[in-house]
Structure 1
């Protein structure tokens, strides 16, 4: 177990608001934003004791494999990181991966899918599909999760793989960006997501592609084919409305979907599970669902 700090809520909220912002749509160019996030991610509290991280290549796509102790062999978790399709990396998510691995008892894979603007759609989806197919072939079964843009990518991946031997058995989505046709207006209560950054990132990722394509906006896909799905979202997030639409549409299509609203937590607070107990609790909920 790692030592969890459980700092006061206002302190952690302030830290998140000030520290994360330069790497999420700040004035820095994309490469500098990515590097900043990796530096910040590397300064997080120590990972759980017994954490092992190794570089892997699955389906021709690089990534990280994170384990704690001896994981179950015939099952795994694949988690797709967030970052509006323009920033983020497995290195930023190493601690999240370690916490998932500790709680689920499984190996957690973090794909390093290609990012915009260097690589537009469908590069990220192609990478996610290739990676998941390779994990399925190697482990027999796996569950899939993702947050923010990675959540939308996870949903699109699950829809593409539905009915195949490489389909995930469960899908865990944290504030997924499932509709790129609409970038919500600003919300002062959301301390992470900036609408201007979202609009720019969507343009960089989609280019001239049709944003109603389910590979870009999975809310427009056949949601009846989803595996059992958990959606967690903060009450004050700008993405909450589209997450609710996604859940309603999935339920109406007959999918097994569970919706959990987090009343006090911010966008992808799971990344701060080592700082505040509320974030750790929702991470446990996600992990138990995936396991």
Structure 2
């Protein structure tokens, strides 16, 4: 927790509302949005002792992040968000470092291919390839993802279910699990723009059927999910489909738990370096992924 700042809730919320949105469907061209988000990510310092390595695994470039000397247990794989069109391992380095510090594990953040240059199934193929290689190298792993990366993580877990490369646990932060619907705008959601979601879904899906479980995992065999934890903000537009996903998975017999966060916005876990409340929910996620009891 060294170097972590403590800013007032209202200040962090305003920072997110003003600074983050231009990189998430704002007026900038898509390549500029990607660069803008990476520029923002150079702000807060990572935990002391963070080691970041550029690696290629399963043929996919990415980062391997650790803090101190990692434990010998199974690593984590985190699939970043960004509506399948923006985001990168660099943007998620600090989140990975915080997870590494919390769990004592290595964290892999693959740079899966993005739309519109690489529509479905490129991202899923990359995620599956990474997870297969990590499972082969370490004997097992836990998988997480946020927003589009959360939907991608769920789709990956379903694709790998029953194989030696299936994840031991699955942690989903506000996962985008149903691309057949784009929720209407909400003034309470300070991050997600429905118009951006619609454009990104079209770019990602192309001519593929959005009911495919690889695109919208809510339509897959949810009984095949590993033990799963879902976090979602109370006021964000993806809450309804997250709750629907959890209900359907539970009815199918999956071991799944939902935590609704009453004050936090979409993927506030990214602000764990600034807001203690966001750090606390990241601790909850990290301990679940590592199979550790909650504090």
- The interval holding the TM-score normalised by the smaller chain is over 0.9
Q: 1:229-277: per-residue Cα shift (whole Å, max 9, x none)?
A: 0000000000000000000000000000000000000000000001111
Aligned residues of 2:3 and 2:48 also touching (Cα < 8 A)? no
- TM-score, length-normalised on structure 1? 0.99
- Aligned match of 1:223: 222
- Aligned match of 2:9: 9
* Residue aligned with 2:75, SS: strand
Q: How many residues align?
A: 290
Aligned residues of 1:80 and 1:111 also touching (Cα < 8 A)? yes
Aligned residues of 2:86 and 2:114 also touching (Cα < 8 A)? yes
Aligned residues of 2:229 and 2:258 also touching (Cα < 8 A)? yes
**Separation in 2, partners of 1:270, 1:97:** 11
**Separation in 1, partners of 2:6, 2:231:** 21
**Separation in 2, partners of 1:222, 1:72:** 33
Structure 1 residue 72 displacement after superposition: 2.0
* Residue aligned with 1:280, SS: helix
Structure 1 residue 282 displacement after superposition: 0.3
Aligned residues of 1:228 and 1:256 also touching (Cα < 8 A)? yes
- 1:25-174 equivalences under 5 Å are 25-43=25-43, 45-174=44-173
Q: 1:182-211: per-residue Cα shift (whole Å, max 9, x none)?
A: 000000000000000000000000011000
* Residue aligned with 2:188, SS: coil
**Separation in 1, partners of 2:239, 2:180:** 15
Moved over 6 A (4+): none
Aligned residues of 1:168 and 1:227 also touching (Cα < 8 A)? yes
**Separation in 2, partners of 1:114, 1:2:** 33
Please list every run of 5 or more consecutive structure 1 residues that lacks an aligned counterpart in the other structure.
none
Aligned residues of 1:74 and 1:140 also touching (Cα < 8 A)? no
* Residue aligned with 1:186, SS: coil
**Are positions 1:209 and 2:214 aligned together?**
no
- Aligned match of 1:248: 247
Q: 1:29-49: per-residue Cα shift (whole Å, max 9, x none)?
A: 111000000000112x21111
Please list every run of 5 or more consecutive structure 2 residues that lacks an aligned counterpart in the other structure.
291-295
- TM-score, length-normalised on structure 2? 0.98
**Separation in 2, partners of 1:72, 1:110:** 18
Rate the CA distance shift 1:197–1:56 in 2: closer, same or farther, 3 A: same
Q: 1:70-111: per-residue Cα shift (whole Å, max 9, x none)?
A: 112341000000000000000000000000000011000000
Structure 1 residue 4 displacement after superposition: 2.0
Aligned residues of 1:2 and 1:46 also touching (Cα < 8 A)? no
- Aligned match of 1:182: 181
Q: 1:142-199: per-residue Cα shift (whole Å, max 9, x none)?
A: 0000000000000000000001000000000000000000000000000000000000
* Residue aligned with 2:223, SS: helix
**Separation in 2, partners of 1:134, 1:73:** 17
* Residue aligned with 1:72, SS: coil
* Residue aligned with 1:75, SS: coil
**Separation in 2, partners of 1:244, 1:57:** 35
- Aligned match of 1:260: 259
Q: CA RMSD in A?
A: 0.6
